[in-house]
């Protein structure tokens, strides 16, 4: 009887929730449709171009579902563009995004990285590495500092950093009851910041090329100019300093992180609402190896991944492809896993990465809509008439940090921004390395703080918590770094005036 009553109550609650959701969706559609019909065809969207992104942020905070929030914002943007034709533009934009070379690269890299992690797990080599860490790490603080140190060392690419480091230390930090949210924060805070500070990373190669394409640096001089800007990358330096202080215990737990850590210290490092993917039918290695062999079979693929990525001119896709192929052969020759099981594991890795990847795709979709609405150009052009040499670096950092956070585009956005920003900075007489530092700091902040950015999603996935759990616990620390960066850029602008 009680069960039937509970079912009836749950059914009523579900019906009310569906009804309210439909009403809200219809109201939002009508509001965005009214905006579309009340605007002249040749009129700029102006401040209204911000509305789809604001809808994404509000929906994500309420629903805690990043992908669904992205789609809601994309549909709202399409309604603004044409409220009576949604299906074709949606399909066309999605096809365009999925055909984007960057998206294809991200999907393949993340899928192969996921597959490699699955191989390390089911072979038992990851457990061997975790046992080795547990022998040399003797306290909670040491486990956090070890995570930070690994993040600093693995600087080649933020994807590699987020997935490899979190996966390597997850079982160690669980032993010392470190919340998965804090693990995700430490990993994420050393990923993009380290990648922009070290000039032999995927970020450095990309942005150096962008500087040359925009005429800021001459042919072959992009890396040299990039290196000269490293001291001015304030957010990256502050992010690393803050995460070190958190790992060491000098800087305490704030807000949502405090709650997560209290839960973890009570014996529950994994968030209650998070369900981790199970391994393939609980597959076990066919052959148990010695402790030293497990360590060697873990270390070899990780070292090969880093070395091959550097060898292929900082191309993580080629590095991951070669590493997966060699690892499969090595494990098969040792009789650890059959060839068929390893192929299944790689496909399983792709499957595990699907939700984070879908959200990244949603971010590219949203950026395409924002480009049609002219959001980036509007925001930059709206603030430039009020700029001076003193405040320009700080304002550009704040504006680009917001735009990167709002669009999750820590790379693509700067293709649009650099041709606008650098002519203004040159006209004002602002130091070029300082402006590069401000732009790279903004890119690093956006990648770090945005809950639907690729590196944040991968850090959450690797650590074992949801993207929104990671976002809420990380945000106060990211904002502290951003605030200190604004003050620093104001000081540097004043000194160079």
pLDDT by residue (tens digit) across 291-302? 777 888 888 988
* Position 361 confidence tier, pLDDT thresholds 50, 70, 90: confident
DSSP string, 209-267: HHHHHTTSS-TT-HHHHHHHHGGG-HHHHHHHHHHHHHHHTSS---HHHHHHHHHHHTT
Query: For a pLDDT cut of 90, what percent of the chain falls above it?
Result: 27
pLDDT at 17: 75
Q: What is the pLDDT of residues 309-338, one digit of tens each?
A: 888 887 888 988 999 999 999 999 988 888
Tokens of 447: 């990648």
pLDDT at 10: 61
CB within 8 A of 152, min separation 6: which ones? Answer: 190, 194, 240
Lowest mean pLDDT among 109-113, 323-327, 486-490: 109-113
Q: What is the pLDDT of residues 38-54, one digit of tens each?
A: 877 778 888 888 899 88
Over residues 435-448, mean pLDDT: 90
pLDDT at 282: 52
In this structure, are residues 394 and 101 in contact, taking their beta carbons and an 8 Å threshold? no
How far CA 353 is from CA of 152, 305, 359, 458, in Å, comes to 24, 19, 10, 8
- Distance between start and end Cα atoms, the chain: 78
324 or 16, which is more confident? 324
Say yes or no to pLDDT of 13 above 70: no
Q: What is the pLDDT of residues 141-172, one digit of tens each?
A: 999 999 999 888 877 777 777 888 888 888 88
* Position 212 confidence tier, pLDDT thresholds 50, 70, 90: confident
* Position 281 confidence tier, pLDDT thresholds 50, 70, 90: very low
pLDDT at 416: 74
Q: What is the pLDDT of residues 236-273, one digit of tens each?
A: 999 999 999 999 999 989 889 999 999 999 988 988 76
């Amino acid at each position: 009887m009680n069960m039937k009553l509970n079912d009836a109550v749950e059914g009523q609650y579900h019906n009310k929730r569906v009804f309210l959701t439909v009403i809200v969706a219809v109201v939002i559609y009508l509001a965005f449709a009214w905006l579309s019909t009340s605007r002249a065809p040749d009129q700029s969207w102006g401040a209204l171009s911000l509305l789809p992104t604001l809808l994404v942020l509000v929906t994500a905070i309420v629903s805690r579902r990043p992908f669904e929030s992205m789609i809601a914002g994309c549909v709202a943007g399409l309604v603004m563009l044409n409220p009576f034709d949604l299906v074709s533009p949606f399909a066309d934009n999605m096809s365009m995004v999925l055909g984007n070379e960057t998206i294809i690269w991200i999907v393949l890299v993340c899928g192969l990285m996921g597959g490699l992690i699955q191989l390390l797990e089911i072979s038992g080599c990851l457990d061997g590495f975790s046992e080795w860490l547990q022998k040399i790490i003797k306290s909670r603080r040491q486990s956090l500092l070890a995570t930070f140190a690994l993040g600093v060392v693995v600087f080649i690419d933020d994807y590699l950093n987020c997935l490899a480091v979190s996966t390597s230390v997850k079982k160690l930090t669980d032993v010392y009851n470190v919340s998965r949210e804090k693990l995700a924060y430490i990993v994420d805070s050393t990923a993009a910041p380290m990648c922009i500070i070290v000039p032999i990373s995927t970020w450095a190669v990309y942005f150096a090329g962008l500087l040359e394409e925009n005429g800021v640096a001459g042919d072959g001089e992009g890396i040299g100019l990039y290196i000269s800007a490293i001291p001015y990358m304030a957010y990256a330096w502050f992010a690393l300093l803050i995460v070190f202080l958190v790992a060491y215990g000098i800087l305490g737990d704030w807000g949502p992180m405090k709650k997560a850590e209290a839960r973890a210290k009570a014996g529950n490092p994994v968030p209650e609402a998070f369900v981790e993917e199970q391994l393939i039918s609980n597959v076990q290695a066919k052959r148990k190896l010695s402790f030293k062999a497990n360590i060697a079979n873990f270390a070899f693929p990780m070292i090969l991944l880093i070395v091959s990525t550097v060898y292929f001119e900082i191309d993580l896709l080629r590095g991951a492809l070669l590493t997966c192929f060699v690892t499969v052969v090595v494990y098969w020759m040792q009789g650890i896993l059959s060839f068929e099981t390893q192929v299944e594991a790689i496909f399983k890795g792709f499957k595990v990465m699907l939700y984070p990847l879908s959200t990244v795709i949603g971010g590219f979709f949203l950026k395409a809509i924002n480009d049609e609405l002219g959001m980036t150009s509007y925001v930059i052009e709206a603030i430039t008439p009020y700029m001076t040499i003193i405040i320009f670096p700080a304002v550009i950092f704040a504006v680009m940090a917001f735009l990167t956070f709002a669009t999750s585009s820590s790379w693509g956005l700067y293709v649009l921004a650099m041709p606008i920003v650098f002519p203004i900075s040159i006209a004002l007489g602002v130091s070029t390395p300082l402006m590069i530092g401000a732009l790279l700091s903004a890119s690093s902040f956006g990648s770090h703080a945005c809950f639907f950015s690729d590196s944040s999603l991968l850090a959450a996935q690797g650590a074992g918590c949801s993207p929104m759990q990671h976002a809420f616990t990380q945000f106060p620390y990211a904002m502290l770094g951003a605030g200190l960066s604004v003050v620093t850029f104001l000081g540097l602008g004043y000194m160079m005036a």
